[in-house]
Structure 1
Amino acid sequence: MSTDNLIKMVNQIAQYFSSEPDQHAAVLGVRNHLQMFWTPGMRKELLAWQTEHHGADMHPLAQEAVSGAGWGT
């Protein structure tokens, strides 16, 4: 899958959770969705892209969810 599509999808997920008033719960919602429904390869590709591009073009909730997920280990 292209990185552009991954970014588009993670931004849509983050936008969905952005209505959650609790920021921590919103980040966990995005992270849990990615862990449950995305393949490890998709998550690793997104993390690699985020690391290289410093999260440019990613929703802030998505940035926080991906950077704190520990998928690189």
Structure 2
Amino acid sequence: MKADYLVEMVNDIGAFFTSEAGLKEAPKGVADHIARFWDPRMRREIIAHYQASGGTGLSDVSLKAIALLAQQAALASSGAR
């Protein structure tokens, strides 16, 4: 899947959670949504985009959410909790 499409999807989810939960809680809501409902390949691709480009195209809320997911993925791959 193209990174541009994933970025658009994350930003749409971010806009929803910002309107529902506010700026403070939105990144966690976005990260939780992606962790629960996105295919693992999509999660890996958006994390790779974040790591390769610094999150080009992501809104502030979405950028924070993907940073959380990247951190969680790194912890999971290292076996840490």
Q: TM-score range by the shorter chain?
A: 0.7 to 0.9
Bigger Rg, structure 1 or 2: 2
Q: Which residue of structure 2 lines up, in the alignment, with residue 48 of structure 1?
A: 48
CA RMSD across the alignment = 1.3
Would the aligned equivalents of 1:43 and 1:71 in 2 still touch at CA under 8 Å? no
Unaligned ranges ≥5, structure 1: none
Unaligned ranges ≥5, structure 2: none
Matched, 1:36 2:36: yes
Instruction: Tell me the percent identity.
Output: 31
Matched, 1:8 2:26: no
Quick one: distance in 2 between partners of 1:12 and 1:39? 17
Task: List structure 1 runs of 4+ shifted beyond 4 angstroms.
Answer: none
Quick one: distance in 1 between partners of 2:23 and 2:43? 24
Which structure has more relative contact order (CA 8 Å, sep 6+)? It is 1
TM-score by length of 1: 0.87
Read off the aligned partner of 1:71 and give its amino acid letter.
A
Quick one: distance in 1 between partners of 2:30 and 2:66? 9
Read off the aligned partner of 1:16 and give its amino acid letter.
F
